[in-house]
Structures are given as structure tokens and as C-alpha cells.
Amino acid sequence: MKGWLWTALLLLGFAALAAATAAGHLQDFDRTLMLAFRTGDTGNPIGPLWVERLFLGLTHLGDWRSVLGIAAVVVVYLLATGRRATALLVFAAISTEALLNNLLKEIFDRARPDLVAHSVEVSTTSFPSGHAMAAAVLYLTLGALLLPTQRSRARKIAIMAAAIGMTALIGISRVYLGVHWPTDVIGGWLAGAAWALICWQIALRLQTRGKIERAGD
């Protein structure tokens, strides 16, 4: 029940954020935070060059090529170890996330930021961030899959901290590189986390019914 409660809270948070963003109530927040990642020159991100290169590398871990590549490796591994139902669930979670994000982008049809220079090329609409949403679904799902394989509480905390940290850094990279408003990224995190939780709850339900393998089976 707690999982579904958190899912509902995340979805309510997304709906509230989307409504406030559409009404223009968060423009000052977006502008202030985006400019905080810039020097006095709006075309120059803060920090030395290696920081920009770091975020350029991180942001690619949330694009569709990397997400599909990592998901494919996980699916192949699960199939090779006989966990076919789990592999199907991972595939479904990632593929449906992509469809859902495209649908949400079409619905909200928000223009990309023009406040600062873009450090990477973009072509789709802005809300919610596809990178932030895909990262949340992929890395949180992988973290959830790994948790049952660990007995140590410290290792479980480390795994989820790594999953959350990767999701956070990929989202932050989109604002740092100037291609998303902060609210786009927050929306992506909320929607992605909610979708990951939904898939996780479905997996738990199927496990109790014996229709999906448990870790270690």
C-alpha cells in the first residue's frame, strides 16, 4: 500500500507542477535557477571547462541511445539467467516510458528555454524532460532489481543512493547545458519516479502470484 501511496503523491506533484508551469506561476523560479548556472555571460556556464565536459558526458547517459543500450544489456542478462518475465517487465517499463514522455511533450507543447545558449542540440519540446524521466525509470528500476540480491543494509542504501544520484545528475545536466527549464527536469523526475514505482508494484504483485521470478530464483 505504501508504494501506491507514494505513486499517488508523485502523480499529484506532477499534476500540480504542470498546472503551475502552464499558468506561468514558476517563471521567476525557472529563470533564477537557470541563470544561477551561468556566469555574467549567458553563453558561458559556471565552472571550469572540465565541469561542462563532465555534464556533457552525464547527459548522454540519459539519452535514448544510452537508455536503450543499457536496458538491452539488462534484458539479455535476465534472459540468459532464465528470468524471462522480469526481462519482459524491464523492456515494458523502458519502452512505455518513451511513449508516455512523447505523449506528455505533445500535450504540454512547451518551448525550449531561450534564456541562455544551448550546449547541445535539441529538437523536441521541453516539458517534461525526457532525459530526466528516462533516467528515473531506468536507474531506479535497476536499483530496485538489485536490492533483493543484497543482504547488507549498507549495500542496499549504497545501491539506491547511486541510482538516485545518477538520476539527479542527469537531470541537473539538462539545466546546466541550457536545454531545459528546471521545472521540466522536476516534472521528468516526478513522472519517471511514479512510472518506476508503478512498474515495481506490478512486479511485486506478479511475484506474489508466482507469475514473475523472484531475485535468486
Contact of 187 with 128, CB cutoff 8 Å:
yes
Active-site hit among 25, 60, 118, 180: 180
DSSP, residue by residue, 73-88: HHHHHHHHTT-HHHHH
Which residues make Cβ contacts (< 8 Å) with residue 55, sequence separation at least 6?
Answer: 45, 172, 173, 176, 177
Residues in the chain: 217
Which residues make Cβ contacts (< 8 Å) with residue 148, sequence separation at least 6?
Answer: 214, 215, 216
Whether residue 180 lies in the annotated active site: yes
Whether residue 60 lies in the annotated active site: no
Q: State yes or no: cis peptide before 128, omega within 30 of 0.
A: yes
User: Sign (positive/negative) of CA torsion 149, 200, 89, 106?
Assistant: negative
Active-site hit among 25, 60, 118, 131: 131
Catalytic residues: 131, 180
